Each structure stands twice: as structure tokens, then as C-alpha cells.
């Protein structure tokens, strides 16, 4: 197995990307990691004894976060994300991992890998921590709009991913909506409901926003506009709550003494809420494994993203989606 890692993508590239790749390579010596990027910039972080399962592949260009994704992918054909994706297309790598521009990675995947037959648009699927474990939300930003048929496709792909990667047997699939009843919602959700209900998945009906953090559905389906707002609201709310808790429990000496008793529990919650624990988000629906990482990913997140890529390859995720789609 070979995983192509975009060493130049992300706020902390290439140092943290390379650190994460080295940790992953040392943990699993039975697969290869290909660091794709500008060798002159990578070399300073590759000194000393390296794992034998790490190699470098030259890509002379880099796509910046503020560049127009599609235009940049077309113009910069030797950029790290385009080259890494091309390696997957050519069979020289089994998956690509990047913390660079999400738009550029999507464009590179669509132009370079194409879509799985039967999938109209890909979706970014991410994990949201809940008391019941990590739950899948898709789409969280690949497409701002979607058709009812595309939401149904998201439900099918999400169900397969939850089963094969998250290890959830017969995952519960819910449609994000403003109410639980079947007739609720806008035109999109009202038309998507019967399609999901008739599909070969465990569709449990509508789920409201307040249901999502409790883990009442294993897979939450929505279009990218709503999904992105849901995800970022959850991230912001979690950050504010932790900030407030820290301020309140350390405001005086008596509270600081009490904080020592609850500190282990708070650490466990913080770890559960840490996006780095879950690695990257797969771009489901493209004809190859493409794992999207948070732009501010550090070594730990990259290591876990590479693990997710490995798991997707091991379970033959693309073939599973292709085989399970209605013919």
C-alpha cells in the first residue's frame, strides 16, 4: 500500500506534515508513504535516520489557500496536490492525504480521478464527536446545493463508510431537518425523504439539529451549506464552553482546588472533542481515496489522517460504494 501525502499543504507545512508522516511510517512499517512537494523545502525536516518506508516525489509548485481552486489546479499542473492526486490516478499510490486548500483538493480529485459511476456529486464526510462515539455528517462543504437524488446518494455512501470504517453495524441514517415529522422542511428535504426511505439503508427519518450532538443518528445527511454551518457552529460552541469552564473554575483559590478533582474528566472530554483524534475527512464519491485534513492540522492529525486513508484502502471503500449503488 502506498499513501501520497501533500507535504506542502496546510498552515504548518511542510514541518508538521512531515512529522506526522514519519510517526505514521514508524507505526506501520508495512506500507509506503510518498511525500509530495518541493524537495528543497522538505529536506531540512528530513535529516537524520528516516524510516525506510518514506520516499520523496518532486512537485515544483504549491497552491495557496487564497487562489481560485479550479483555475489553480488547471494552471499549476506540477503543484503538490495535483501531483499527489495524479499518483493515485496512475496507480502509483492508493490514496492521497492533504491539509491544503479544500477547494483545490476537490478540484484535483474531480478533474484527476473523476466520479464513481452513479454518483452525481461528491460529498465531504466528517466525524462529529458525541457521547455515543463519533458520528458521520455529510456533506459539510463540497457542494453548497444538492438535489434530493444527491442527498440519497450521500445517505448510501455515508452508510457504507460508517459500516466499513467506523465499525457501526446497520448504521442509523437521518435527514437533517427542522422537525421530526415526515412532512417537515423545505422542498429539498421533503423530496429527499421518500427517496431515502425507499433506499436500502437503515433510514430513521428526520433528525433535528439538537439531536445531532446526542448521537441519535450514526449518519446525518444534508447539503454542504447546512452541513458546514452545523459543523462550524459545533466547533465554535465547544470552544466557547471550554473557555468559559476554564475561566470559571480558576477564578479563585477555592475553585482552583476543586478544579484539580475534575481535571482528568475535562481532559478526557477535550480529547474526545479534538478533531486531530479523528484524522481527515474523506471526499466520498470520487473514483479514488482522497482524505481532506483541517488546514491547521499538526503532526497528530496528519498521522491519524494517514491511518484513515489506510483503512479506506484496506476495506476497498471505492469498490464497496461502486458495488452497493443501485444499478
Q: What contacts 3, CB < 8 A, 6 or more positions away? A: 31, 32, 33, 34, 93, 94, 95, 96, 97, 306, 309, 310, 313
For the question of whether the overall pTM of this predicted structure is more than 0.85, the answer is yes
Q: Is the pLDDT of residue 327 over 80?
A: no
Per-residue pLDDT of 126-144, as tens digits, reads: 999 888 888 999 999 999 9
CA distance 54 to 43: 13
CA atoms within 13 A on the CB side of 117: 5
Cβ–Cβ under 8 Å, residues 39 and 73: no
Ordered by where they begin, the domains of the chain are 2-119+285-324 (3.40.718.10), 124-235 (3.40.718.10)
What integer pLDDT is reported at residue 168 of this predicted model?
Answer: 94
CA atoms within 13 A on the CB side of 135: 20
Q: Is the pLDDT of residue 275 over 70?
A: no
Amino acid at each position: 500500500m502506498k499513501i501520497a501525502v501533500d507535504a506542502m499543504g496546510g498552515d504548518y507545512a511542510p514541518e508538521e506534515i512531515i512529522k506526522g508522516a514519519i510517526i505514521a511510517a514508524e507505526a506501520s512499517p508495512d506500507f509506503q508513504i510518498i511525500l509530495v512537494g518541493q524537495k528543497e523545502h522538505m529536506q531540512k525536516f528530513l535529516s537524520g535516520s528516516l524510516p525506510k518506508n518514506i520516499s520523496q516525489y518532486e512537485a515544483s509548485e504549491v497552491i495557496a489557500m487564497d487562489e481560485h481552486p479550479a483555475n489553480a489546479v488547471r494552471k499549476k499542473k506540477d503543484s503538490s496536490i495535483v501531483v499527489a492526486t495524479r499518483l493515485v490516478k496512475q496507480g502509483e499510490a492508493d490514496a492521497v492525504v492533504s491539509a491544503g486548500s479544500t477547494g483545490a483538493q476537490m478540484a484535483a480529485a474531480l478533474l484527476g480521478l473523476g466520479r464513481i459511476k452513479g454518483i452525481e456529486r461528491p460529498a465531504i464526510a466528517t466525524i462529529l464527536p458525541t457521547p455515543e462515539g463519533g458520528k458521520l455528517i455529510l456533506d459539510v462543504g463540497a457542494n453548497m446545493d444538492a438535489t434530493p437524488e444527491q442527498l440519497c446518494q450521500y445517505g448510501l455512501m455515508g452508510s457504507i463508510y460508517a459500516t466499513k470504517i467506523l465499525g457501526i453495524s446497520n448504521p442509523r441514517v437521518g435527514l437533517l431537518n427542522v422537525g421530526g415529522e415526515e412532512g417537515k422542511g423545505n422542498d429539498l428535504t421533503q423530496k429527499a425523504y421518500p427517496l431515502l426511505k425507499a433506499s436500502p439503508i437503515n433510514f430513521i427519518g428526520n433528525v433535528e439539529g439538537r439531536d445531532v450532538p446526542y448521537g441519535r443518528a450514526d449518519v446525518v445527511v444534508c447539503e454542504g451549506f447546512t452541513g458546514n454551518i452545523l459543523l462550524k457552529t459545533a466547533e465554535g460552541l465547544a470552544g466557547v464552553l471550554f473557555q468559559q469552564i476554564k475561566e470559571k473554575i480558576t477564578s479563585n483559590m477555592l475553585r482552583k482546588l476543586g478544579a484539580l478533582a475534575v481535571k482528568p474528566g475535562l481532559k478526557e472530554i477535550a480529547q474526545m472533542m479534538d478533531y486531530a483524534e479523528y484524522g481527515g475527512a474523506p471526499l466520498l464519491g470520487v473514483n479514488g481515496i482522497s482524505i481532506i485534513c483541517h488546514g491547521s492540522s499538526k503532526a497528530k492529525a496528519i498521522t491519524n489522517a494517514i491511518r484513515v486513508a489506510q483503512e479506506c484502502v484496506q476495506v476497498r471503500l471505492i469498490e464497496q460504494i461502486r458495488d452497493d449503488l443501485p444499478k
